[in-house]
Amino acid sequence: MLINSASLSETVDAINAARFDGRTLAAAERGEAARWIAGRQGLPGAYADTFAGFPSEREKGILLFTGERITSASARHILGEESSRALRYLGVRDAKVTAALDRANEGLMRCLARAEADPRYTNPGLFCCGKCSVGLWRNLLSGGLDRHEERLSLGASHLKSMRDGTDQWRKFPFWYTVLALSEMDNADARKELKHAAPKLERAAKAAAPSPPYARRRHEIAVRALNAL
């Protein structure tokens, strides 16, 4: 069951989990989930005309696929990016789903345009903060927005200046960032995965845990190391 009728973030998480685990979803299941997510587009609380979480998600925040908790405006923004990505993965041919995804994409593009109009904004691979930037990358990786290769390369290259001396990055949630980097095909992303490799190696060598987020992090570590 993909849909959690009281949580957009948990519905998106279930879709991400199916893709991550390589499970094939039935056409009927994909269609039902896509139409349900599309129905959240533009509702009160949606970020930039994307997809709205429920009141409890706006009040308490959401958990990312990798287990980090995100709150406030960042949670609304990332949920919009992740919902867009989920719809692209589901790949349902439905006029209402397509229209909702197009409106969400246009809303996010307007946000990027406003940011880029600010003379202080110098890196089109970033948006707002570290957390939101990774959400942006995840949407770009699914084919959303524009200037994909440029934004992903410049975003990944920024991480070098954010290294914190402990194989991680300041202001960027470690596992969520690694998850995005492991899907990128550019030299800067590989450099940052090499920077994170000591922490990833420790995680990969540990016994595979069973709790969902710990298990995912273990598998992300293994996949990221294999990508080097």
Segment-wise mean pLDDT, segments of 10 residues, the chain, 228 residues: 97 98 98 98 98 97 98 98 98 98 98 94 96 98 98 98 97 98 97 98 91 96 95
Please name which of 139, 79, 146, 154 lies closest in space to residue 112, comparing C-alpha atoms.
146
Residue 65 DSSP code: T
DSSP 141-155: HTT-SS-HHHHHHHH
Residue 48 DSSP code: G
pLDDT for position 209: 84
pLDDT for position 222: 97
pLDDT for position 18: 98
Beta strands in 6-158 (DSSP E): 62-63, 69-70
pLDDT for position 207: 87
Bridge partner residues of 63 (DSSP): 69
pLDDT for position 1: 87
Residue reference for tokens 């908790």: 69
Environment class of 27 (CB within 10 Å of its CB; exposed 0-12, middle 13-18, buried 19+): exposed
